[in-house]
Structure 1
Amino acid sequence: MNVQSLADWPILLIAVIGSILLVEVLRRVLNRAGRKWALARHLVEHCTWPAFLMAAAVAANAAFGPGMFGDTPAERGLAGTVERVLGLVTIAAVTWLIVQATYALTDVVLDRLVLVEGERNRRARRIMTQIALVRRIAAAVIIVVAVGAMLFSFPQVRALGAGLLASAGIAGAVVGIAAQPTIGNVLAGLQLAFSDALRLDDVVVVEKEWGRIEELTLTYVVLRLWDERRLVLPVSYFTQNPFENWTRHGSRVLAVVYLRVDWAVPVPKLRDALYEFLQGNPLWDQKDWTLQVTDVLPNGLVELRALMSAADSPSSWDLKCDVREFLVNFVRENYPDALPRFRVDFPETQVSAGWHREQVDDK
């Protein structure tokens, strides 16, 4: 190792440390600006470590020379290996930084969409779903390009390029057949996102399970069930099987409560009591309600249906429970004769009734 190569190492060290310090200064400036500027805050959250790695790798790659280890063939071979590793690390760091910067930029839009409520909430959730899927596709494409650049940095790989291109048709057919389920899921995910059939935070019923769409990727969908369980399904399931989407055109839901009572129930008074109860319940959205006699059951009971509207499905569930409890208590306390009764004829009763009819006939 000559004197010139010894003098290059402090320069390399200073370059790396200086680049790291420069990134740290930029991080502190963005962190301070992040109190008022959302993009700066997200850049700090996503890009700090990728920026440190990229700055160190770029500085080392720029300051490193092929003769820093010496002039012998072995030392120059080692220097070439280090230089190639630094190049690979630089490509990886730049790729990591680009992906994280993309996520930071889209997070600014997603934060604004999350705050949208009311009638515009459905459109906001559709845009959120599309952004989430598109940025995953963009990240996958960037990573694939970066891996290709890293591989083609090796001369051996570049030499094989012509042969690989010649057999690309056969290889593409084999890969296409092998990856058919994965490709189908990816296409299904894009179809769901851009056809507006399914969005993040939609309320759906799948396999008799009620829940919300928590995560929608290119390959699977995570459904958060009402009891905090998670149901994970492939995206293709939603394009090949029917499912209920309760928030397809809006979040408003109708709640239905059934009550089976005796014929003695005073329906008009029960209807008035229900309306008075709904007016004092904050879960009712003050729009739709009704109480109707919907059926006379074979067992001799009368079926009543109470219908009322709520702003969303969780409110609808709680409102149904409240109304059911109120109706049960109201009938029990005010009209106990209207409680469900099942009439049964025993053989002794039938004999007694027949004897009584004979006595009447004799008279």
Structure 2
Amino acid sequence: MENVLRPLLVIGGSVVLTLFVGWLTDLLLRRADARHSETPLWGLLRRCRVPLQFALGAALLRATFPQAQIRFVQEHRWGSGQVLTLVLIGASAWLVVRIATAVVESTYARYATATRDPARLRRVRTQVTLIQRVVIAVAGVVAVAAMLLSFPAMRTVGASMLASAGVLGIVAGIAAQSTLGNLFAGLQIAFGDMVRIGDTVVVDGEWGTVEEITLTFLAVRTWDERRITMPVSYFTGKPFENWSRGGVQMTGTVFFHLDHSAPVPEMREKLQDILRECPAWDGRDWSLAVTDTTPSTLEVRAVVTAKDSDDIWTVRCVVREQMIAWICDHHPYALPRIATSQALPPPRRPALADEPSARTGRG
């Protein structure tokens, strides 16, 4: 009878205690979240319940499983203990990542509530994202190292590796030069405020929005839903256009190539009417002027403004479409003309009677 009750008491007691602690922790966090609704920290910490239970359960079983006196466990005592140790290390790393993520996300949420500047908000969002990735990477590396060092054979290998750390460091630095360069470039982008998540950029002639920034690569979503993935070192070593730098307001231009008889004053009035009826125009500024001329055409430039890059594209398309339609309907003569008739040769000049050659007969 004791052979049955002892394992049930040891294992069952560990499981019951683990579930009770998880339930109690969740209850306390729920009450704290209800009392302090101004911060989402306590609600986010409730996500830690599962890794907490795994870590606590693994720790209790690791400490009490020898008292269970189960034959299979006794025969494989080292293996059972090693498995529980690995579970404990993995669950602890999982718990650390969840806690760090909750703290970072709650800090960003409070900052987003108190800040109205979109540029600062995107900068903080980029930094928060990279901080989370750094924490996950560090916790994962430490957890894997701890798991490996829990094996006696790996401890000997680890001591040998520490003895030759200088040589290994040089070799690893040369082999992973590009990877380390991208890693430091990612940190430089995050805290140097060069480019942020949500910024509108132009890279290699492609226009898009920064969708994701990691420690090694950056993803840009183009207007046609394509994703351009490039190493973050590209943005620290090559020039690129950042349309959101210093603010999201945009100024755009629309060019018209017309005949020299184009009614520029009437076009200026029509542009103002078009912009008044365009919801995407922010009302900041507009203008229309002749910027260049050629022997056959007149270059007219319309300048419009909008609150962001998406709206400036809409305003430019609306102005271009409606202005051309208005010119075709009311001033078709202003459209550019192409001469298709055959050019006439210059007239031949007749010889004069009083020229010297005519009088002397020279030649």
Please confirm whether the aligned pair reaches a TM-score higher than 0.5, indicating the same fold. Answer: yes
1:361 alignment counterpart: none
In structure 2, give the amino acid aligned to 1:47.
C
Matched, 1:61 2:62: yes
Q: Aligned letter for 1:38? A: P
Q: Distance in 1 between matches of 2:139 and 2:287?
A: 56
> Residues 252-276 of structure 1, C-alpha deviation per residue, up to 9 Å, x if partnerless?
1111111111122111111122123
Pairs within 5 Å for 1:216-295? 216-295=213-292
Query: How big is each residue's C-alpha offset from its partner over 1:123-181, in whole Å with a ceiling of 9 and x where there is no partner?
Result: 22112212211221122122222222222222223334432221111111111111111
The aligned residue for residue 18 of structure 2 is: 19
- How far has the Cα of 1:29 moved from its partner? 5.9
Measured against aligned partners, the alpha-carbon deviations of 1:189-238 in whole angstroms (never above 9, x if no partner) come to 11112221111111000111100110011100000111111100011111
1:152 aligns to what? 149
Q: What is the aligned counterpart of 2:191 among 188, 191, 194?
A: 194
Count of aligned pairs = 347
Superposition deviation, residue 290 in structure 1: 0.8
Kindly state the Cα deviation for residue 9 of structure 1 after the two structures are TM-superposed. Answer: 3.6
- The aligned amino acid for 1:323 is V
* 2:332 aligned residue (315, 333, 336): 336
Give the counterpart letter for 2:52 in structure 1.
A
Query: What is the alpha-carbon distance in structure 1 between the residues aligned to residue 115 and residue 316 of structure 2?
Result: 24
- Kept in 2, the 8 Å contact 1:66–1:83? The answer is no
Secondary structure at 1:64 match in 2:
helix
CA distance in 2 between partners of 1:220 and 1:237 (Å): 9
Counterpart residue number, 1:302: 298
CA contact (8 A) 1:9 1:68 kept: no
Closer/same/farther in 2, CA of residues 354 and 169 from structure 1, 3 Å limit: same
Q: Distance in 2 between matches of 1:310 and 1:116?
A: 25
- Unaligned runs of at least 5 residues, structure 1: 359-363
Paired residues of 1:283 and 1:315 also in contact (CA < 8 A): yes
Q: Is 1:39 equivalent to 2:60 in the alignment?
A: no
Q: TM-score, normalised by structure 2?
A: 0.87
Pairs within 5 Å for 1:90-169: 90-113=88-111, 120-169=117-166
Sequence identity, in percent? Answer: 39
Q: Summarize the Cα distance change of 1:116–1:305 in structure 2 as closer, same or farther, 3 Å threshold.
A: farther
Opposite residue 274 of structure 2, the aligned amino acid is F
Structure 1: distance between partners of 2:139 and 2:249: 40
What is the rounded CA distance, in whole Å, between the counterparts of 2:73 and 2:293 in structure 1?
96
Indicate how the Cα distance of structure 1 residues 343 and 115 shifts in structure 2: closer, same or farther if over 3 A, else same: farther
Aligned CA distance change for structure 1 residues 78 and 146 (closer, same or farther; 3 Å): same
**C-alpha separation in 2, matches of 1:9 and 1:139:** 37
Change beyond 3 A, Cα 1:75–1:271: closer
Can you list the C-alpha shifts for 1:67-104, whole angstroms capped at 9, x where unaligned?
6235xxx9645122211211111111011111122112
Q: Is the 8 A contact 1:50 1:96 kept in 2?
A: yes
Q: Distance in 1 between matches of 2:68 and 2:26?
A: 35
Which residue type is aligned with residue 87 of structure 2? Answer: V
Q: Pick the aligned partner of 2:179 from 170, 177, 182.
A: 182
Q: Post-superposition, which runs of at least 4 consecutive aligned residues in structure 1 deviate over 6 A? A: none
* Deviation for aligned residue 1:301: 1.1
- Stretch deviating more after TM superposition (150-159 or 185-194): 150-159
The 8 Å contact of residues 17 and 56 in structure 1, kept in 2 or not, is answered as no
Query: Do the aligned residues in 2 keep the contact of 1:69 with 1:78 (CA within 8 Å)?
Result: no
Which of 317, 320, 331 is the equivalent residue of 1:321?
A: 317
Q: Which residue in 1 is equivalent to 2:6?
A: 7
* Distance (whole Å) between structure 2 residues aligned to residue 210 and residue 47 of structure 1: 40
* RMSD of aligned Cα (Å): 2.7
Q: Which residue of 2 aligns with 1:78?
A: 76
Q: CA–CA distance in 2 between the matches of 1:176 and 1:189?
A: 17
SS of residue in 1 equivalent to 2:50: helix
Closer, same or farther: CA 113–293 of 1 in aligned 2, 3 Å? farther
